Structure 1
């Protein structure tokens, strides 16, 4: 509101009352916008399905755990799998959004699954899958093994159906991955069983032929111990070589998957679903959707599109770098595992070599038979091991179940998740009020005009001597200029023009009982109390800018001074645009200019009551105006070429002293201070300067600057008069008129 920072509760209430329409308008606008938004808002629904991830408890599960390797958190991997591309693609197929030919991953488990996984994904399918993924979120519930799948959609039926389809396809994906691993393990085990069946037959036949040909009965105990040790070492070597083969296969697949994201997702889901990679993929998906939507209304060369493409390339580069880092770490771990296994194989070979050396000391026939027996025993053990694993895989395959179960299917939501329309409208009303208050205080802070009288006094560092209210045309008398032929020595001639400009109101003469007229009497009292008693005083009235109402105030104030019995003279020092003579309807010359240049005397230039009578006032008005005979006017006179220099002459100083010696009150009407220097020149020659400020016409900085100029010229500022004040709470003149009416009527009764 102003430069004063300390605001009281009264100040806040005044600002709110003053700017109430801004607050009301802001509130209505925000409420209207909120209502329009609520009426056009699409309701959003959420549906939730819950699935449970069980731990593997079967022997087949143990075999799978042995043949696979993962360093990631199991539940985190499962959560990422819920919204994986494979699951969402099959959901899109079930919804009929893509065809079977467009599937990259099978919607049901088949042995031909690998052929699907090598297909290229069309852009249309990518957009559809990413659009569905944008509606889905999955998270682990606390530290449990339960995953909640939440779907957000504007269609309540779609939300429930999509949540249930995702839960089902996630379960199918879990089964598919398990069956895929089991199929690979079963194929390997079956081939080993077939090979060892043939090896058992050959070794048994060879052993039988050797005994028949040599008539050999049984080997010695030492031979049996050596053979048993060799047999165990051979089984250990075979097991280690199997693990090496699996690790080398995995290493080869890792190196291939390092540049093939599809293989990485299929063969190593624990790496593909790593939390960091999942976050990057989600960001890529969101950015591609935004880019696709943006390109619907813009070109590829649009700056924002180019920026989005750069961001997309950066994310893809980060994804590639992260994949390479994770795969490299897995490769290093696998290579270390292979090296460790090979060391153990070498240790086994060394132990076999020592056992073979012990075997060499036993007779040849006994050794030969022991070798046949050892080979039969080893083949039988390996055959039984793979046969047992084959049975476990067959049982697990027959079960056809995964470790994911749906514990709570999604139901169609009834209520939208968005808040009620009434609540939003009410919130809009509150926001509108707050915005209105903020805007009101901002406007008030930018408003540098008058706030309160106390604010202005603190800012200008002076006293407000009086407050003159707004005077409308109906309240003041409009005195037109009209000549009185009998009062003039010569009739009107073409050389004499009537004064130009609008007429001035003289309310203290026309309506002295109005509160507006009482304001001038209050100003009179304040000025007299500030000046020394029983002394003749010279006052200068000026303003910071034009049209502040100086002449009107001087005219009414001068009349009230005269009515108090003070010999009062009004001097028009506004030699550039004089107006005082128009107020009282007297001739402009001879006047002040004529006195200063010596073409007329002071007595010839001063206009007295008789001039007023023959100037603007009717005889009846003259007789009804008490004290009018104490009022004198010294008009401006002819227009000089150098007003400022004329007012700065020594003759002007002498004239001021002459007028003070003859009159009780001398009031000077001067031009505004900022445009010209006339008032500044005279300010040091009078007893006091009074600044007239019309509220709302200019910033408060303007009178501040005018006062600084007057103080710089060593002028004494008595105070400020606020003019044309329009109070927010209108006064009631009828009350004052009612009082005066009864006062007059009572006076008449007493006289009677």
Structure 2
């Protein structure tokens, strides 16, 4: 490859850094600049829809009432007795939202007769949704959804609609009731109605439960009284029969107290034994450790208070630090370092001996504790045996006393519950009360017009940007020279603008005169408008050819592209005209054998050309066409359909190479127009025929992946590629993709030196 593209990095450290805020801002701004024609309509559409929704939705008003659950408990009936259980506020919220409470509100406020709760007005989106649902129901069941619900249960429909607008929240035991309505007065009425209906429901429930439990509780009180009397009589008879009198002041036997004391002492003895064993295991683990360093720094309880070990350990750490310091300064083999090592080992031995002495002390303490535990265990066994002998009679007594005490407790509890039930039947009090009544709101709660419009504008901007970003990510075509160089890894030689064809009145073609026909093609701009951008692009290519001369002289320059219609023939012929116009002996050869479009444009009536010269049937001067203004020589191609399949063989033939060698001797610049790379393999057959290739891609049309694949397949082009020409560029739109480099291509700057 003649020119190898390499990305230049001024600062290698900066190249490895992640993109910063400035780079991110430039990226986002570039997307906006490129895709604003997509982003703006999307943003305006979303904003318009949001605004339409805000101004077509009926306003609603929200009223708020507050209720508190006083006691923190509720009463439930357990086995006929009302019991207090902790309040679960969440469960009370579910009760407020229940259908029974809602139906009570509907009945009290006559909401079933209010059109707002039967067929409420809705906004634009709601009307559309209702319209679709009603027509589907009418088509399937021949009845509208709303009419069917009203006919079936108007109160139930009103309750359902009311519950949909009800919102409950809690803070501790305070429940806030919110209700939304199209009328401020109705919103306050329904919010207060739900609170009052819930309180009334709780009062009725408590009164009903108390009445049901009262009858059952009276029978239970009488039965418990009789059972308690019989239990007390049985205890007295048992004591008299077994002569049970001598007990301690607290009602317990002496043997019972002794056994309790021995058990307490045994627990303490076992704890001391376990503690002694743990200390012994720890000191033995330290003593049996094979690492003297671990013994020196190991810690048990007594070592923290042992002045000998503390002193030895201090000396040990000082010697270790000194040994490390001297080893770095004098080396490990120095006599002073060796002496320090011997002293360290002596201290380690002393620490070991002291630890062994502590270990013997721990062992002695452990043996004493174990012996004490064994003695207490034997005493407990003896006491238990004696207790079993003396307390067999008391076991039955305790059972009778326990039964009597239980019955007395149940009897007292039943009497207390009976008294409470009588009070609750007379004065039923709810566990909740209304602490703040709802007042009619002064302003609407929804829709929040400004907020919706603002949110829709923000959402529209986000969706518009997303649509633009998606379109930018799918835009896999060449837009800038940087994309060309990054995608194809080669230089972008020039940017040729998109030009409108100029109408010329071409005279009749005369094949005998062999004069190139001046048609309406844009190639003539290099002659007629030499200061235009198109001519400037051709001069840029010519300059690159001359600059490459010292490295590898270029006499034969081939032009190709990845796909047809990208303008390769236009660029090739325009470059040839410019070269000839500048005084160089130039010949333009049409080697697009299967589709010689260049010959059809410049020499439409040619009867013979390149193939006849290569085959030896005609001489070059007999088929050569000329352009009188610039002196350009043109060699057309007349290809018969029957020989189209032989195109690659012709381009790779030795006769064609011999012919091009003769052209090199006669002409200074030989411009060759080849076929595109992607459809056929003709270009890959031209190895050694030309010196360099120019690859033409169309701005905004050529797919990056297709161009990369084409160059990777055509290795002969890739290895001898001079560069790429970005053709048909719209310079007004190019600024949208170039960012801060758009001024480089601005018409206002070029117009001061060239012709627009």
TM over 0.5, yes or no? yes
- Which residue in 2 is equivalent to 1:603? 621
Contact 2:560–2:695 (Cα < 8 Å) also in 1: yes
Relative to 1, partners in 2 of residues 1:598 and 1:77: Cα closer, same or farther, differing over 3 Å? Answer: closer
1:679-698 matched pairs, under 5 angstroms:
679-698=683-702
Contact 1:539–1:668 (Cα < 8 Å) also in 2: yes
- Which residue in 1 is equivalent to 2:534? 516
- Which residue in 2 is equivalent to 1:636? 637
| 1:531 equivalent in alignment to 2:513 | no
Relative to 1, partners in 2 of residues 1:8 and 1:182: Cα closer, same or farther, differing over 3 Å? Answer: closer
Relative to 1, partners in 2 of residues 1:710 and 1:406: Cα closer, same or farther, differing over 3 Å? Answer: closer
Work out the CA distance in 1 between the residues paired with 2:659 and 2:512.
31
Query: Secondary structure at 2:714's aligned position in 1?
Result: helix
- Which residue in 1 is equivalent to 2:223? 241
Contact 1:688–1:718 (Cα < 8 Å) also in 2: yes
Count, aligned residues: 516
Query: Secondary structure at 2:208's aligned position in 1?
Result: helix
- Which residue in 1 is equivalent to 2:171? 141
After superposition, give the CA deviation of every residue in 1:355-403 in whole Å (9 maximum; x if it has no partner).
9999xxxxxxxxxxxxxxxxxxxxxxxxx99999999877665556545
Could you tell me how far 1:511 is from its partner in structure 2? 1.7
Contact 1:683–1:689 (Cα < 8 Å) also in 2: no
| 1:710 equivalent in alignment to 2:708 | no
Work out the CA distance in 1 between the residues paired with 2:619 and 2:657.
15
1:432-443 matched pairs, under 5 angstroms:
432-443=460-471
Picking from 453, 464, 467, the partner of 1:425 is 453
1:343-358 matched pairs, under 5 angstroms:
347-348=231-232, 350-351=234-235
Contact 1:536–1:660 (Cα < 8 Å) also in 2: no
Work out the CA distance in 2 between the residues paired with 1:154 and 1:407.
25
Work out the CA distance in 2 between the residues paired with 1:504 and 1:672.
20
| 1:14 equivalent in alignment to 2:30 | yes
After superposition, give the CA deviation of every residue in 1:396-438 in whole Å (9 maximum; x if it has no partner).
6555654543222111122333362122111111111111222
1:320-359 matched pairs, under 5 angstroms:
347-348=231-232, 350-351=234-235
- Which residue in 2 is equivalent to 1:445? 473
Relative to 1, partners in 2 of residues 1:139 and 1:345: Cα closer, same or farther, differing over 3 Å? Answer: farther
Query: Secondary structure at 2:58's aligned position in 1?
Result: coil
Work out the CA distance in 1 between the residues paired with 2:546 and 2:598.
23
Query: Secondary structure at 1:722's aligned position in 2?
Result: strand
- Which residue in 2 is equivalent to 1:199? none
Where does structure 1 lack aligned partners over 5 or more consecutive residues? 100-121, 193-237, 245-341, 359-383, 490-497, 614-621, 623-627, 742-752
Contact 2:527–2:581 (Cα < 8 Å) also in 1: no
1:38-187 matched pairs, under 5 angstroms:
38-55=54-71, 67-73=81-87, 78-96=92-110, 128-142=158-172, 144=173, 146-184=174-212
Contact 1:692–1:720 (Cα < 8 Å) also in 2: yes
Work out the CA distance in 2 between the residues paired with 1:56 and 1:543.
85
Work out the CA distance in 1 between the residues paired with 2:209 and 2:27.
80
Relative to 1, partners in 2 of residues 1:586 and 1:441: Cα closer, same or farther, differing over 3 Å? Answer: same
- Which residue in 1 is equivalent to 2:652? 648
- Which residue in 2 is equivalent to 1:482? 508
- Alpha carbon RMSD of aligned pairs, Å? 4.4
- Which residue in 1 is equivalent to 2:501? 473
Query: Secondary structure at 1:541's aligned position in 2?
Result: strand
After superposition, give the CA deviation of every residue in 1:587-621 in whole Å (9 maximum; x if it has no partner).
5243111111211122323334xxx34xxxxxxxx
Contact 1:53–1:403 (Cα < 8 Å) also in 2: yes
Contact 1:684–1:714 (Cα < 8 Å) also in 2: no
Could you tell me how far 1:34 is from its partner in structure 2? 0.5
Relative to 1, partners in 2 of residues 1:604 and 1:126: Cα closer, same or farther, differing over 3 Å? Answer: same
Query: TM-score, normalising length from structure 1?
Result: 0.60
- Which residue in 2 is equivalent to 1:670? 674
Work out the CA distance in 2 between the residues paired with 1:47 and 1:166.
12
Work out the CA distance in 1 between the residues paired with 2:614 and 2:57.
81
Work out the CA distance in 2 between the residues paired with 1:447 and 1:148.
55
Could you tell me how far 1:96 is from its partner in structure 2? 2.8
Where does structure 2 lack aligned partners over 5 or more consecutive residues? 1-17, 114-151, 243-411, 736-744
- Which residue in 1 is equivalent to 2:40? 24
Query: TM-score, normalising length from structure 2?
Result: 0.59
